[in-house]
Amino acid sequence: KAGVTQTPRYLIKTRGQQVTLSCSPISGHRSVSWYQQTPGQGLQFLFEYFSETQRNKGNFPGRFSGRQFSNSRSEMNVSTLELGDSALYLCASSLISTNTEAFFGQGTRLTVV
Amino acid sequence: DQQVKQNSPSLSVQEGRISILNCDYTNSMFDYFLWYKKYPAEGPTFLISISSIKDKNEDGRFTVFLNKSAKHLSLHIVPSQPGDSAVYFCAAPLRSYGGATNKLIFGTGTLLAVQP
């Protein structure tokens, strides 16, 4: 069974640009969550999608958005990139929203210069 | 407000000895706790969990202890192996919307180094 797949693995963007990251959850999993990992803040919850609906949102500005498709694949978008957005972005999938155990992808390392 | 805290950023242990990683929490509504292991450039991997109705859960070399009155949990690894060297995160799900969804609240992690 394939795990959680995130693409791309690495990205370098310039301040002011926008970026789209992709996540394919484990087959059959309908819940996808996104987390940001930075050295200073650790792992911070961004948002969760279930059946194409955003079910939960963390404390991030509106520049961070996401969506989920009917096949459960998810994308997150960051607009007007800032230097502080440089981080490892992790996607996690669960069978359903209430599952406590989440399976993580390898992450996308975003560097904003 | 850090609801899950790991106060030791790093820990060094000799191979074969016990590793004890600690985690404290402040939110008494947490009813489940998880430990994740993370290697550099990889996503966290689920290791072991414990429900708040238990005080101990064991899985092979890994045991998690929960002390609800102290709002403290610990992960014991016995015996420690060099391959255990990684960052360990403690996490708890924060329930929302009557439990219909939850998000994981993570500690800041402890870097474990197991010396051969």
> What is the spatial distance between Cα B18 and Cα B65, in angstroms, rounded to a whole number?
14
> What is the spatial distance between Cα B66 and Cα B77, in angstroms, rounded to a whole number?
15
DSSP per-residue codes, A66-100: EEE-TTS-EEEEE-S--GGG-EEEEEEEESSTT-S
> What is the spatial distance between Cα A4 and Cα A29, in angstroms, rounded to a whole number?
10
pLDDT tens figures, A4-62 = 999 999 999 999 999 999 999 999 998 999 999 998 778 999 999 988 999 888 999 99
Closest CB from B43, B44, B104 relative to A45: B104
- DSSP code of residue A62: T
Contacts B93 to A, Cβ<8 Å: 100
Lowest mean pLDDT among B7-11, B52-56, B72-76, B96-100: B96-100
Residue type, A8: P
Contact A98 B102 (CB under 8 A): yes
Closest CB from B91, B99, B101 relative to A50: B101
pLDDT tens figures, B6-58 = 999 999 999 999 999 999 999 988 989 999 999 987 899 999 999 999 999 99
